[in-house]
Chain A
Amino acid sequence: MINKIVASPAEAVADIFDGAVVMISGFGEAGSPIELIHALIDQGAKDLTVISNNTGSGHVGLAALIENRRVKKMICSFPRTANSKVFPELYKNGEIELELVPQGTLAERIRSGGAGIPAFYTPTSVGTPLADGKETREFNGRTYVLQHALEADFSLVKCKAADRYGNLIYNKTARNFGPIMCTAAKTAIVQTKQIVDLGRLDPEAVVTPGIFVSSVVEVADPAEESKLVADDRRYPW
């Protein structure tokens, strides 16, 4: 029997090793797998390279992973938001590396990584400082910049419902990077609000086919990052 369901976030993240490349879904708090991130903090893996659009808020979730000095390098498009304090502080002190990538290029690098495409040319960032030192090439009289695919050892993703084959559906704009991150990691670990029986997800409406998913853990009542930040909570509690 195929059964990708695991019992707890701790079990789900147990194999993440020091130095791993980890993709973390989410755009701000929408789609951020906060329980998996907290389990990763408890687990202790360090020297991680994290690929995520932002760097977290307050002192919980991704911001807490960074604050607990588990992240050596961030690859992201927008490393500061209204409530991000942790990353800017470490960055200013030279204690964390940053690779800044335009958001659409970040998405396409991840998509390519999952699709077996090692690199691609894109018009984004041509003529800007973010293209400095990168290979360019002309197609049809227009200049494009070479970008390399991103792959990860693990991805941590949040969704709305999953079955034991790992088929997933998402919730509204919390989908964002989840589907492509599932494809681009050797091991895609998903927290879901609900696990449903096989056949309950309409095959026409499945967003992430189970083939891209390694394990699924049910977190029926996930924390809301913005509420934790408003209450000035810190992880570990």
Chain B
Amino acid sequence: MVSKEEKIGWSVSDMARNVAADIPNGAYVNLGIGMPELVAGHVPEGREVIYHTENGLLGMGPAPAEGQEDPELINAGKKHVTAIPGACYFHHADSFTMIRGNHIDICVLGAFQVAGNGDLANWSTGAPGAIPAVGGAMDLVAGDIKIFVISKHTTKEGEPKVVKECTYPLTGKAVVDTIYTDLAIIDVKDDGLYVRELAPGVTFEYVQERTEAELKRNP
């Protein structure tokens, strides 16, 4: 555990930009609730990306102007959204056919913990007495969709979120492809975690100190 210190590394907006840079033109993308939603604002010029929300919309647009909200047009986080020209609606079984059947290309999710082998924990802290709620988290990681995790590198208390083994209940085993944090971009490969890029002013050793799992330098 590392104590609080001055802010270095990427901003949340930078992190969202890093994720967006790895989403190719023409991709169908599901964005999780919270930080992942910011990715939509950073798609590079010239690329067209189609957003899926699992409650039944392909072609999700930005939030509506005030006063234009429609209670029957919402996203998976139950926030008001819009539909772009060319959007379509479908029922829940079709929506999860797109997910589980690997028709969606990329899913961007938040995380409580990611393990060195790509295990993901993002639905429950397993706290006694908490009401368990899973939503679509386990379905999103069940297929072969690319799973991008966007998350601060450590918890508010400074605990590593990239760990040897998840201590929270798992969402899926060996499912994460890339981790985008405020300190680094880390690819999960068969033989371990490879630091692909470091935030400006951040060293490999600095990131490793804040990571429980072993990191490797890109060859």
Say yes or no: is A17 at the interface (Cβ < 8 Å to chain B): no
- Does A128 lie within 8 Å of B71, measured CB to CB? no
A27-B74, A103-B139, A128-B171 are contacts. A78–B134 as well, Cβ < 8 Å?
Answer: yes
Interface segment among A40-48, A169-177, A194-202: the answer is A169-177
A27-B78, A127-B170 are contacts. A77–B136 as well, Cβ < 8 Å?
Answer: yes
Contacts of A123 in B (CB 8 A): 100, 142-143
Q: How many cross-chain pairs have Cβ atoms below 8 Å apart between A and B?
A: 142
Interface string of A108-132 (1 = CB under 8 A from B): 1011000000000011111111100
Interface-centre pick from B56, B83, B96, B134 (highest chain A CB count, 10 A)? B134
Interface-centre pick from B71, B73, B74, B170 (highest chain A CB count, 10 A)? B71
- Does A170 lie within 8 Å of B89, measured CB to CB? yes
- Distance (whole angstroms) from the CB of A109 to the closest CB of chain B: 10
- Does A126 lie within 8 Å of B92, measured CB to CB? no
Contacts of A108 in B (CB 8 A): 93, 96, 100
- Does B100 lie within 8 Å of A88, measured CB to CB? no
Say yes or no: is B173 at the interface (Cβ < 8 Å to chain A): yes
- Does A175 lie within 8 Å of B138, measured CB to CB? no
Give A127 to B173 CA distance when docked, in angstroms. Answer: 6
- Does B139 lie within 8 Å of A78, measured CB to CB? no
- Distance (whole angstroms) from the CB of A228 to the closest CB of chain B: 11
- Does B136 lie within 8 Å of A104, measured CB to CB? yes
- Does B78 lie within 8 Å of A172, measured CB to CB? no
Give A16 to B83 CA distance when docked, in angstroms. Answer: 37
Say yes or no: is A209 at the interface (Cβ < 8 Å to chain B): no
Contacts of A153 in B (CB 8 A): none
- Does A179 lie within 8 Å of B91, measured CB to CB? yes
Interface-centre pick from B55, B70, B89, B169 (highest chain A CB count, 10 A)? B55
Contacts of B137 in A (CB 8 A): 102
Say yes or no: is B132 at the interface (Cβ < 8 Å to chain A): yes
Contacts of B56 in A (CB 8 A): 27, 173, 175-176
Q: Determine which of A106, A122, A171, A180 lies in contact with B91 in the assembled complex, contact meaning CB atoms within 8 Å.
A: A180
Give A126 to B89 CA distance when docked, in angstroms. Answer: 29
- Does B131 lie within 8 Å of A122, measured CB to CB? no
A28-B74, A103-B96, A176-B55 are contacts. A88–B138 as well, Cβ < 8 Å?
Answer: no
Q: A-contacting residues of B (Cβ < 8 Å)?
A: 53-57, 70-75, 78, 83, 89-93, 95-96, 99-100, 129, 131-139, 142-143, 169-173
**17 contacts across the A-B interface (CB closer than 8 A):** A27-B56, A27-B78, A29-B71, A77-B133, A77-B135, A103-B54, A104-B54, A104-B100, A104-B138, A106-B92, A110-B93, A124-B142, A127-B173, A128-B173, A170-B89, A172-B70, A180-B93
The 6 closest A-B pairs by CB, nearest first: A104-B139, A104-B96, A127-B173, A107-B92, A174-B72, A111-B93
- Beyond contacts A81-B78, A128-B138, A176-B91: 8 other A-B pairs, Cβ-Cβ < 8 A, are A30-B71, A100-B132, A108-B96, A122-B100, A172-B73, A173-B53, A173-B57, A175-B89
